[in-house]
């Protein structure tokens, strides 16, 4: 039996099914969805920044240049380094998300 964690992106309403040990960003790409911007995929660029709205996660190594200790304490993280531990909700908030309305 497969245990999948369901993670909803608050703005788009898209639901991602994340495998145990899989990052949120990898799950999104595997499912062909685009609710979170994609950057370097390695925790160093900050493009995939999200805010944890609810739920529990493990956090991988992230550049403190893009996610400070204060931000992490407020629930901000990089989706490429965020590993859900159960059903949860996040909101994309990286630079690409903030820039999107100006580009239209």
Every domain of the chain and the residues it spans: 5-103
Which is it for strands 49-54 and 5-9: parallel, antiparallel or unpaired?
Answer: unpaired
Closest CA to 84 of 35, 36, 21, 26: 21
| pLDDT at residue 97 in the model | 57
| pLDDT at residue 102 in the model | 41
Question: Which pTM was predicted?
Answer: 0.86
Classify domain 5-103 at the CATH class level. alpha beta
Contacts 24+ apart (CB under 8 A), 40-43: 40/80, 41/80, 42/80, 43/78, 43/80, 43/81
Triad 74, 98, 72: Cα angle to 5°? 15
Q: How far apart are CA 97 and CA 6, in angstroms?
A: 22
Bridge-partner residues for 6, per DSSP? 17
For every one of its 104 residues, what pLDDT tens digit does the chain have, with 9 covering 90 and above?
A: 368 999 999 999 999 999 999 999 999 999 999 999 999 999 989 999 999 999 999 998 888 899 999 999 999 999 999 999 999 999 999 665 544 444 33
């Amino acid at each position: 039996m497969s245990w999948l964690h369901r993670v909803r992106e608050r703005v788009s309403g898209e639901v991602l099914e994340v495998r145990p040990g899989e990052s949120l960003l990898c799950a999104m790409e595997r499912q062909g969805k685009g609710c979170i911007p994609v950057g370097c995929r390695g925790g160093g660029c900050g493009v995939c920044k999200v805010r944890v709205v609810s739920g529990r996660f493990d956090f991988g190594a992230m550049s403190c240049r893009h996610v400070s200790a204060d931000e992490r304490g407020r629930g901000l993280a990089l989706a490429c380094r965020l590993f859900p531990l159960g059903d949860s909700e996040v909101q994309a908030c990286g630079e690409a998300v903030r820039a999107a309305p100006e580009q239209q």
